[in-house]
Structure 1
Amino acid sequence: MPYLRVALDVPLPRLFDYRLDVATAADIGRRVVVPFGTRRLVGVVLEMVEQPAYDVAAIKTAEAVLDDMPTLPAGLLDLFRFCADYYQHPIGQVLHTALPTRFRDPNVFRVAEALHYRAVDVATLLASLPRQAALKLRLAQLLATPRNEAEIRAAGSTAWKTVQVWLDAGLVVAQVQQTVMPSAAVGPPLNDEQAHAVAAITAATGFAAFLVHGITGSGKTEVYLNAIAATLARGQQALVLVPEINLTPQLEGRFRQRFPGVDIVSLNSSVAEGERAAGWVRAARGEAGIVLGTRLAVFTPAPRLGLIVVDEEHDASFKQHDGLRYSARDVAVYRARQAGVPIVLGSATPALESWQNAEAGRYRRLQLTQRAVAGALPPTLHLLSTKRQPLSDGMHARTLAAIGERLARGEQSLVFLNRRGYAPVMHCSECGWMAACTRCSARLTVHLRERQLRCHHCGAEDRLPRVCPGCGNQDMKPLGQGTQRLEDMLAEHFPAARVLRIDRDSTRRKGSFETALKAVHACEVDILVGTQMLAKGHDFPNLTLVAVIGADNGLYSANFRASERLYAQLAQVAGRAGRADKPGEVLLQTDFPEHPLYQALLADDYAFFAAGELAERKLAGFPPFLYQAVLRAEANQLAEALAYLSQAANLAPQSDAVTVWDPVAASMMRLANRERGQLLVQSTARTRLMAFLTEWMAALRAQKPGKVRWALDVDPLEL
């Protein structure tokens, strides 16, 4: 019998040999349960050999071969090997990162038979309702045709519970899911630019990378939907990646409306583990036509893969910052090339790496320069200088006047401030004391309503002090402005207005974010106060004013990507205004109205901005004109972390093509009671850097790090 070579979830970059019982069969890509020391671990078979690499007598026998998930295909295993090599991460940990949680433990997981639910008779169901509440009426109409559980749950927070009651009463029946031909409902007519983009994508044979650069509101999603419809019509599957969970529910609803009867699998951290595993299995079997998810969905098996879409491809959320530190966008491009299928990267503000790839001809750029809704125009942008201007709690007089005008017209306004809490710091004017986190190199944010100080980095909380701990002064004041303070100020200034704050604090409870969005769409809100949660992907037809407060904070960062991120954020939030037939206006308060970034925004010329940024990066020697990796180390004391990094630098192989910089403290030196340092290496040749990292990591893994924890971050976003 052959021996199994198994990838295990352990921090060792190797496979482990196991004996196979004579009565048991196994395949490459199959899950197995094996003994590992005193533990029982789940592994995946990657190789089968006649002769093991170790003494036969010392090799243990695999306990079980599991058949509860489809065998992982060779192409996907090659993708995992690529990630292990490129990101210098143990192959076993790559595999177990990619698998749903239910498949990471030894218990057998059985996927329940997929059921659809339909009303026995819609008229009878409606007649049985004591009151035709909006949700029940919508559900009754929905169940006129068979619907799966995900479609029912998407209808409302209590929809599934209601259907269960109807099921018990015999008003609804459950039936085994029937295979249906994929079809697409008719969407809105495409303009010439959209039609050209769809034609280019659907005509592609084999691998092709398209960068859809469209202004906000230009209908990029319609381009995706039409390209996906063509993919389904060919009998293939589509994989769609979005950067954040908040964008998934509304996009999922739009997909289900466009593709009735198509099995759409939604994969993100808000989906229950069992449901996620079941959806993953349906995708792996080829039953699901569309896989829609956040970054981890890039690893979902799809035997009939025909198209990959990455929406908001510039977003930093596609980068994982712990464990396997991968970029889902970059992995998606590699997977598309590997599978020989087209990939669509969409954004109003593409990442400069993607823009440079388009400039170099590696990607084909498709431009969408006009808004999709007939009569809708991009909003007008005005820069409001705040230098030597009297402000009312941080608000310019013209901003307040513009909000008042919208209130008078029954239109909505969004006041954008990317800072949660009431104020960023509590300060004593007598001795200069400021509330600081004892676990991090950061100030504590004031949350006045909860009477708390909170660290937004490690989550530490403390009570608001009544007196200054430094001098006993009782007259301490919160300095600066956060969304809570802004909400209070606007409610006081416009007492008749309905003000709603949407940030991570106000949407902690499950379903609260969706409820808030529904209130905005129902015009039950006059003034929105929000952070970056509202900056992208949302379509509020009655919102005609966006006011941006505190944008200048983004100019002070030492990160060379700061300007790119600020431009993207401001362009995205500005795009929320005037998306329908009502003209939109954007007011940006700044101390530096002459700054080139703001001038590029004013001209709505991303190409000009990108050209300037790329020229500066080329001159300074920054990505995308060279390639970087950062070795990060953390310990109880910074000296320990830096000492380890110095030792690591001494172990680095000699290479004329790779520069190894000196160890330095991380930009946030202390985080959650651990002190951190980092060591940067870079090269103008990616292949030379990869060869260097492979040799270097082998030398580092042979050393004992002691109490220091270290990790390598390839293509880092943060330095």
Structure 2
Amino acid sequence: MIVQVIVDIPAAQVNRTFDYQVPAKWQSIIQLGIRVQVPFGRRQLLGFVVGMDDTTLFSGELKEITGVLDYVSFLNPELIELSEYLAGNLHAFRISVLQAMLPNMLKVKYENIFIINDLQKFQTMTLEFAEQLMYGPEIEFQKLTLEAILPGQLIKEMIQAEVIELEYRVLNQTTHKKIPYLKPLLNFEDMQAIVEKQGKRSPKQVQLLTYYLANYPLMWEEAPLNEVAKRSGVSTATIKSVIDKGWFERQERQVYRDPLANQERHSTTARALLPEQAIAFNAVKDAITAERNETFLLEGVTGSGKTEVYLQLMAHARQRGEAAILLVPEISLTPQMVARVTERFSTGVAVLHSGLSTSEKYDEWRRIIKGEATIVVGARSSVFAPLDKLGLIIIDEEHETTYKQADNPRYHARDVALWRCQYHQCPLVLGSATPSLETRSRAEVGRYTLLKMEARVNQAPLPPVEIIDMTQMAVRETSNEFSPLLKEKIRDRLEKKEQIVLLLNRRGYASYLLCRECGYVLECPRCDISLTYHKHDHKMKCHYCDFQQNIPRNCPQCQSTHLRTFGLGTQKVAETLEELYPDARVIRMDNDTTRRKGQHEKLLKQFAEEKADILLGTQMIAKGLDFEKVTLVGVINADTSLNLPDFRAGEKTFQLLTQVAGRTGRGRFAGEVLIQTYNPEHYVMQFAKQHDYEKFFYYEMKRRHIGNYPPYFYTTLISVSSKNLANAQEKIYEIKANIYNQQSSNSDLLILGPSKGPVARINEYYHFQLMLKYKNKKLVQSQLNEILTASQQDLQQGLRVSIDHEPLYFI
């Protein structure tokens, strides 16, 4: 048997399959997608089996694989095929794509251990090898040790029979969670006799035995030890004593780590759908039933009930024995969405997002592979969940930039979902109140099916929006954080015991520290950007490379003590709120307050339980949150993202304002929105005021057409970075010259740049970029392949060259 292997070297020279011979002892256990150890040059490397055959085109003598790391594949044939497509389409190395699909548990250093689940069966099946086997106290074997003694086929049979299992144990970290169980070894009569004999001696032991007798036969099988101790009212020391006497046996049982263990669940049932919801549901349901690959754009205003449509569609897919994936853009959205899914589906739901520990992700992945979870909810990487029979993929808030991977491989979850839905012949639903222009334009020309939901579930109108001109506030020298009207509205809501959401898309206390004597601004020594003042930590921090330093007492340039902070951040606004409204309870949500695991859920739960009056945060609070008593939304500074050097700046700002405006008026209380801006007449502000996505779409499309930007043109960003400024600059001009020389006569290719990156230096690397705009993807394919091929040699010279198709990040 011969296998095609992708080896673990992200380099152009080895970005292909290599054939290896499979020794006879492993031929019965080799599968597509498993990881193997192979000799490569003088090294032993990890590799992925992506093909199997009986012949090879290689004329020389094939090397043999030297190890099999898995007995169960973590990548099904579909994902293997998908990896080949993505590698070619993204100009990425295939090994990088394969590793992006897997949970981190399978990427890091590990040791492989075989755990014996059934010692009696194990001894029976390995009787002829008994003299060579030594059982340790934990009844486990190092993988290499057991494989040196037993044939591979026998190991495979024992795994299938669940006699043993292979555990991937991260060094210094337990991989499989185990909890102790207690099992009685006495029968009912013997236990009763001991109770009578003991009398008043050992009262706690008698108490435990009496508990078991009272609950016979329910407790007679093994039960969680801690649960027994709690219910019987005895200590673990008492339990240890009865184990020592041989009355009970302590066992350990492997359990999955449950990321939802602390979540309160209240089962819900499907609600009656409103007419617009029913139309959308039936259209997608028909596609699921007919196994038709069709992409739907569900454009529904905030509060129109898109989530209920999602839930009923997933229920329909599950009734047909099919799986479903629901993607959400932000970890902060996941708690509420996961709660709604698990309340509707009591079992079979897996959660995958960056807030889980490495071990929790691994356990969720195993549940999916074993078919124990058929509904997957999570962020971007969840689109790779190895579900065998997909009936539906849903991408909520499809316009969000977080669906695009920022580093290599730079895939977009929507493109992966389109491919997988075509593979399974099932529908894809893209949901949003403010779809991306690319998605909406495809619906306009009929490539996607447009479904609209223009009414809120509670039949209430969208909240009125008032634009506040902050230039007038500056003239009057009032507080630059809050206008008088916003302060008055906040006070009014606090008196009514209602809740408030305030958005400021900039964390920290102040944007920068300025010397009033000489004008010096404290900058990051590694990046060409000013440091942000964080008052709580008493630090100056760089939000690009995470450089930190203490706040200087004197100006580094002129030694003056007249240093002053300028600009706004969430920390400073929170402090101002405490000064203005000392009795108000404020929750601040940004990257600084939500770094610890579970903080998103904890803070949102506090707000949901009305333990806080004001929720202040960055864009993470703008989407997907549903709190009935929120009657006021205030945007502190709507211009934060409006003037960025990004052709999508207007679109992103409009989407953000529309989304945060939708957080109010969702229940029986009417809502109101105040947007503070220094550009009140800007078209984005005016369309946001009217909640008019349609007019915004057509206006923005005209601007894109004039500028030759997506969706009228494809775009590719080529970036070069190096610690040597001259080398980076020389390389980017060399790339442009090569492309231009081969495409000079082609008017369908536009080249912008080279130019410095918006932040010219980040973490001591100088950045230059080149933007290609073109109508035909095949036009630049060969040139981009050449750049990818040369990138390894460039890397050896200290140059990082990257290719990003349809870039969403320019800073």
- State TM-score, norm by structure 2: 0.78
The equivalences for 1:284-363 within 5 A come to: 284-363=369-448
Instruction: Give the corresponding residue for 2:38.
Output: 34
Deviation for aligned residue 1:355:
0.6
Residues 1:602 and 1:116: Cα distance change in structure 2 (over 3 Å): farther
Deviation for aligned residue 1:698:
3.8
Deviation for aligned residue 1:104:
3.1
Instruction: Give the corresponding residue for 1:225.
Output: 311
Instruction: Give the Cα separation in 1 of the matches to 2:429 and 2:737.
Output: 43
Deviation for aligned residue 1:375:
4.8
Deviation for aligned residue 1:680:
2.0
Task: Give yes or no for contact 1:267–1:279 (8 Å, CA) kept in 2.
Answer: yes
* From 197, 200, 207, the counterpart of 2:293: 207
Output the amino acid matched with 1:221: T
Deviation for aligned residue 1:281:
2.8
Output the amino acid matched with 1:377: P
The equivalences for 1:579-598 within 5 A come to: 579-598=666-685
Residues 1:187 and 1:166: Cα distance change in structure 2 (over 3 Å): same
Deviation for aligned residue 1:666:
1.0
Tell me the secondary structure at the aligned position of residue 707 of structure 1.
coil
Instruction: Give the Cα separation in 1 of the matches to 2:59 and 2:767.
Output: 42
Instruction: Give the corresponding residue for 1:2.
Output: 2
Instruction: Give the corresponding residue for 1:246.
Output: 332
Output the amino acid matched with 1:230: H
The equivalences for 1:552-591 within 5 A come to: 552-591=639-678
Deviation for aligned residue 1:385:
1.4
Instruction: Give the Cα separation in 1 of the matches to 2:535 and 2:445.
Output: 51
Instruction: Give the corresponding residue for 2:101.
Output: 98
* From 610, 635, 641, the counterpart of 1:548: 635
Determine if the alignment matches structure 1 residue 460 to structure 2 residue 547.
yes
Residues 1:44 and 1:392: Cα distance change in structure 2 (over 3 Å): same
* From 347, 353, 356, the counterpart of 1:268: 353
Residues 1:705 and 1:66: Cα distance change in structure 2 (over 3 Å): closer
Instruction: Give the Cα separation in 1 of the matches to 2:629 and 2:74.
Output: 50
Deviation for aligned residue 1:50:
4.8
Determine if the alignment matches structure 1 residue 258 to structure 2 residue 336.
no
Instruction: Give the corresponding residue for 2:762.
Output: 671
Tell me the secondary structure at the aligned position of residue 24 of structure 2.
coil
Output the amino acid matched with 1:381: V
Instruction: Give the corresponding residue for 1:186.
Output: 269
Determine if the alignment matches structure 1 residue 424 to structure 2 residue 511.
yes
* From 174, 177, 195, the counterpart of 2:278: 195
Instruction: Give the Cα separation in 2 of the matches to 1:614 and 1:388.
Output: 32
Output the amino acid matched with 1:335: R
Task: Give yes or no for contact 1:499–1:526 (8 Å, CA) kept in 2.
Answer: yes
Instruction: Give the Cα separation in 1 of the matches to 2:666 and 2:512.
Output: 36
Instruction: Give the Cα separation in 1 of the matches to 2:382 and 2:451.
Output: 25
Output the amino acid matched with 1:192: P
Instruction: Give the corresponding residue for 1:165.
Output: 226
Tell me the secondary structure at the aligned position of residue 344 of structure 1.
strand
Instruction: Give the Cα separation in 2 of the matches to 1:346 and 1:313.
Output: 6
The equivalences for 1:71-86 within 5 A come to: 72-86=75-89
Output the amino acid matched with 2:92: H
Instruction: Give the Cα separation in 2 of the matches to 1:216 and 1:698.
Output: 46
Output the amino acid matched with 1:42: L
Output the amino acid matched with 1:101: N
* From 449, 469, 489, the counterpart of 1:385: 469
Instruction: Give the Cα separation in 2 of the matches to 1:557 and 1:2.
Output: 54
Residues 1:113 and 1:643: Cα distance change in structure 2 (over 3 Å): closer
Deviates more, 1:291-300 or 1:35-44: 35-44
Instruction: Give the corresponding residue for 2:24.
Output: 22
Output the amino acid matched with 1:314: H
Output the amino acid matched with 1:74: P
Determine if the alignment matches structure 1 residue 654 to structure 2 residue 715.
no
Determine if the alignment matches structure 1 residue 61 to structure 2 residue 64.
yes
Residues 1:587 and 1:661: Cα distance change in structure 2 (over 3 Å): closer
Instruction: Give the Cα separation in 2 of the matches to 1:684 and 1:168.
Output: 70
Output the amino acid matched with 1:202: K
Tell me the secondary structure at the aligned position of residue 23 of structure 1.
helix
Deviation for aligned residue 1:415:
1.9
Q: Deviations over 1:474-515 (max 9, x none)?
A: 121111111111111111111222222221112223323222
Instruction: Give the corresponding residue for 1:138.
Output: none
Task: Give yes or no for contact 1:207–1:337 (8 Å, CA) kept in 2.
Answer: yes
Residues 1:16 and 1:417: Cα distance change in structure 2 (over 3 Å): same
Deviates more, 1:408-417 or 1:499-508: 499-508
Tell me the secondary structure at the aligned position of residue 446 of structure 1.
strand
Instruction: Give the Cα separation in 2 of the matches to 1:117 and 1:525.
Output: 40
* From 511, 528, 533, the counterpart of 1:446: 533
Residues 1:637 and 1:692: Cα distance change in structure 2 (over 3 Å): closer
- Root-mean-square deviation (CA, aligned residues, Å) is 2.9
Deviation for aligned residue 1:651:
3.7
Task: Give yes or no for contact 1:9–1:96 (8 Å, CA) kept in 2.
Answer: no
Deviation for aligned residue 1:49:
4.5
Q: Deviations over 1:277-328 (max 9, x none)?
A: 2322332343311011211111121111100011111111111111201111
Determine if the alignment matches structure 1 residue 511 to structure 2 residue 598.
yes
Deviation for aligned residue 1:169:
4.8
Q: Deviations over 1:363-417 (max 9, x none)?
A: 1111111222x25432110011122323224211011000111011111112211
Instruction: Give the Cα separation in 1 of the matches to 2:602 and 2:225.
Output: 23
Instruction: Give the Cα separation in 2 of the matches to 1:72 and 1:507.
Output: 32
Output the amino acid matched with 2:608: H
Instruction: Give the corresponding residue for 2:729.
Output: 642
Instruction: Give the Cα separation in 2 of the matches to 1:642 and 1:304.
Output: 49
Where structure 1 has 5 or more consecutive residues not aligned to the other structure, the ranges are 121-161, 178-183
Identity score, percent: 35
Q: Deviations over 1:84-104 (max 9, x none)?
A: 010011112211111122233
Deviation for aligned residue 1:557:
1.6
Instruction: Give the corresponding residue for 1:371.
Output: 456
Determine if the alignment matches structure 1 residue 714 to structure 2 residue 714.
no
Tell me the secondary structure at the aligned position of residue 554 of structure 1.
coil
Tell me the secondary structure at the aligned position of residue 663 of structure 1.
strand
Determine if the alignment matches structure 1 residue 694 to structure 2 residue 777.
no
Deviation for aligned residue 1:164:
7.0
Task: Give yes or no for contact 1:3–1:51 (8 Å, CA) kept in 2.
Answer: no
Tell me the secondary structure at the aligned position of residue 742 of structure 2.
coil
Output the amino acid matched with 2:674: L
Deviation for aligned residue 1:577:
1.3
Instruction: Give the Cα separation in 2 of the matches to 1:200 and 1:498.
Output: 45
Instruction: Give the corresponding residue for 2:124.
Output: none
Instruction: Give the Cα separation in 2 of the matches to 1:698 and 1:452.
Output: 43
Q: Deviations over 1:147-167 (max 9, x none)?
A: xxxxxxxxxxxxxxx987325
The equivalences for 1:405-416 within 5 A come to: 405-416=492-503
Task: Give yes or no for contact 1:318–1:329 (8 Å, CA) kept in 2.
Answer: yes
Task: Give yes or no for contact 1:629–1:713 (8 Å, CA) kept in 2.
Answer: yes
Task: Give yes or no for contact 1:243–1:294 (8 Å, CA) kept in 2.
Answer: yes
Instruction: Give the Cα separation in 2 of the matches to 1:193 and 1:507.
Output: 37
Instruction: Give the Cα separation in 1 of the matches to 2:21 and 2:603.
Output: 56
Instruction: Give the Cα separation in 1 of the matches to 2:575 and 2:331.
Output: 28
Instruction: Give the Cα separation in 1 of the matches to 2:26 and 2:442.
Output: 49
Task: Give yes or no for contact 1:631–1:679 (8 Å, CA) kept in 2.
Answer: yes
Tell me the secondary structure at the aligned position of residue 701 of structure 2.
helix
Instruction: Give the corresponding residue for 1:158.
Output: none
Task: Give yes or no for contact 1:651–1:696 (8 Å, CA) kept in 2.
Answer: no
Where structure 2 has 5 or more consecutive residues not aligned to the other structure, the ranges are 113-165, 169-174, 184-222, 234-250, 256-266
Deviation for aligned residue 1:18:
2.1
Residues 1:323 and 1:116: Cα distance change in structure 2 (over 3 Å): same
